[in-house]
A and B are shown apart, each in its own frame.
Chain A
C-alpha cells in the first residue's frame, strides 16, 4: 500500500510539472490583464520544436532552448496582435493555438512520419535521490524548487512584478505613474509564453521521448482552469495542480486493477474543469479578476 501511495505521489509530481509551468505562465500573463488562449498551442508547438531540434542535433539541451525560443516567438506574435493592435484576445489566442497545432502537425509529417516513422529521442532520465517520490526529472526538480519560488519573487518582490500587476489592474494609473503599459504587457506575455513552452518541452524531451498527434491533449486548458481555480495566487494554483495530478495518477494506477476496469475515469479527468466552473459559480460576483482583464489599453 505504501508502495502504491509513493508511486502515485511520484507520478503525480511528473504529471504536475508541465501543468504547473503552463499555469504559472498563464498567471503571469493574466496578471498583466491579458488572457492568453494560445497556451495549448504554445505547449504543442514547443513540444514539437523541442524534440525535432533534439533529434536533429542530438542534444536535448539544444532542443529545450529551441522550444523556449519557439514559445517566445509565439508570444511575440500574440503580444503584437493583442497589445499593439488590440484585437480580441480570445480570437487571437484561439487562432494562435490552431496555428501552432497545424504547423507542428504539418512539420511533423514532413520531417518524420511521411515514411510511417515517428520522431524519438533518448529523453532525460529521472534523477534518483531514493524512492519513487524522489526519482524525478531535473525539470521537475527545477520547476518546484527553483521556478516556483522565482515566480513568486517575480510577482511579489520585484519591480517588474509590481509593474505587471499594476498594468493588469489599472493601466491608466500605471501610465500616470510613468510605466510603459505596452512594454510591460509584452514582457509579461513573453515570460508567460516561455514558461508554457518549457511545459510543452518537458513532455516530449523528458516525460515521453517522442511526439505523437494530440500530445498536449488539453493540458493547456487545464492550466487555464488552474489559474482561475487558484484565484490568481501561486499557492492555490499549485494546490489545484497537485490535486488534479493526484487524481490523474491515482486513476492511472487504479485502472491497472481488474476490478476498476469498467469505472468511467473520464469523470475524474473532467474534475478540474468542473471544479473551476463550480468555484466560479460559488464565488459569484467576488471573483478577483485582474481589473483590466481582456481590456486593451489605449491612451487618449
Chain B
C-alpha cells in the first residue's frame, strides 16, 4: 500500500480551521517539549509568553514595539507575494532603509523636526525601493528568477552596514562599530506618552490600511491580483504584467525600507549591525501565516511581538532560552503551511508495485 494525495472535490467548512488549530497544537506540543527539556513547566511558560505581557502596560507596549518592524516587513512581503513577485529580500531592503535613514540622521543636525522626520522616513523608503530595484529589473526585463537575487542581496546589505560602521560611520566618541546617535530632529516622536511606542507604529498601521485599500478596493489592486493569480490571462486581458510586477516590487522594497527608518529613528536612534534581528525573514513568516492578507499580517505581527516579549519574560522567570519565541514562530510556519495544503487533499491508499 502506498499513500497518494488526491484533490478533495468538496470540503466541510470546519476542515480548514480545524487543521490550522491542529497545526497550532502541534507547534505548542513541540515547544512544550523544548520547555520541558529546559526544565521549565510548559503551562507556565506559555502563560508568561501569551498572557502575562498583556497584564501590564509595559508588557503591552513593549509587545507593540516589537511588532512594529514586523508590521512593515509583513506588509512588504504580502504585497509582493500577492503580485506573484517572490520577494525574499525584505531583510536587505529593511537594512538598506536603515542605511538611508542613518545617513540623513547623522547629517541633519540643523533641521527642524517638521523637516527632519519626513526626510528620514523618505530616505529609508527610497533606499529600500532602490535595493529592490535591481532584482525587479532583472525579473521584468530579462525574466531572471527573483527568489535567489532578492535573497542574496540580504547579506550584501548587512556587509555594507558593517563596512560603514567599521569605517566612515564608526562612533566618533566610543570608537565602537556603531554609528553616532542621529539628530534629535530626526527621531520619531513617542505617540504613547510614558512608553517607547513611537510614530513608526502609526505609520505601520497606515501602511497596512493603505495596502488593504489598494489591493482590495482600487483599480491597480485588482490588476495586481490578476497578475499574481494568472499572469497569462492578465496579459490576454491587456494588463501591463511587467509594469505591475515592477511597481509591486518597488512598493514592497519601499515599505520594508520604511520599516528600517522606523527602527533607526524610532527605537535605536543609531545604526548597529544588530539593528534587525531577521525582521525581513520573519516578515515572510508573518505574511504567509496571514495567508497574504494585510489585516491578517497586522494581527500576526502583533502576535509575534507578544511572543517575542513573552519569551523574554518566560526566559527570565523560568530560565529557559529566550530563543524559544523564534522556535515557536518557525514551527508554526512549517506546520501551518503543511496544514494549508493538506486541507485541500485527502489521502488515498493505492496498491503499489513491489
- By a beta-carbon cutoff of 8 Å, the part of chain A in contact with chain B is 35, 37, 77, 80-81, 84-88, 90-92, 94-99, 101-103, 105-110, 114, 218, 221, 224-225, 228, 262, 264-267, 269-270, 273-274, 276-277, 280-281, 284-285, 287, 289, 293-294
Contact = CB atoms under 8 A, between A and B. Distances in A.
B148 A274 contact: no
B339 to A, nearest CB: 10
B321 interface: yes
Sorting the interface of chain B by its residue count into under 10, 10 to 19, 20 to 34 or 35 or more gives: 35 or more
Contacts, number: 150
B218 interface: no
B106 to A, nearest CB: 18
B144 interface: yes
A92 B153 contact: no
B277 to A, nearest CB: 11
Contacts of B5: 84-85
Interface in B279-295: 281-282, 284-285, 288
Given A102-B327, A224-B151, A284 B142 contact: yes
Contacts of A280: 138, 144, 149
B149 A277 contact: yes
A98 B333 contact: yes
B320 A266 contact: no
Given A95-B330, A289-B145, A294-B145, A264 B152 contact: no
A79 to B, nearest CB: 12
A222 to B, nearest CB: 8
Interface string B315-333: 0000111011011011101
A114 B163 CA distance: 33
Contacts of A99: 327, 330-331, 333-334
A267 B88 contact: no
A29 to B, nearest CB: 13
B80 to A, nearest CB: 12
Contacts of A96: 334
Given A77-B334, A81-B337, A92-B337, A285 B143 contact: yes
8 pairs of A and B residues whose beta carbons are closest in the complex: A266-B163, A109-B321, A102-B326, A99-B330, A264-B163, A98-B330, A266-B159, A102-B327
Given A110-B34, A264-B163, A266-B162, 16 more contacts: A37-B151, A85-B5, A95-B333, A98-B278, A98-B326, A99-B334, A105-B326, A109-B38, A221-B151, A225-B148, A228-B148, A266-B159, A266-B163, A273-B155, A277-B134, A281-B144
A228 B147 CA distance: 12
14 contacts: A35-B147, A87-B338, A91-B337, A92-B337, A94-B281, A95-B285, A97-B281, A98-B281, A98-B282, A99-B333, A102-B324, A224-B151, A276-B149, A294-B145
A95 B334 contact: yes
B152 A98 contact: no
Contact of A221 (B39, B135, B154, B166): B154
Contacts of B282: 98
A274 B148 CA distance: 12
Interface string B62-74: 0000000000000
B247 interface: no
A253 B34 CA distance: 42
Contact of B156 (A37, A262, A274): A274
B156 A98 contact: no
Given A102-B323, A106-B321, A280-B138, A85 B152 contact: no
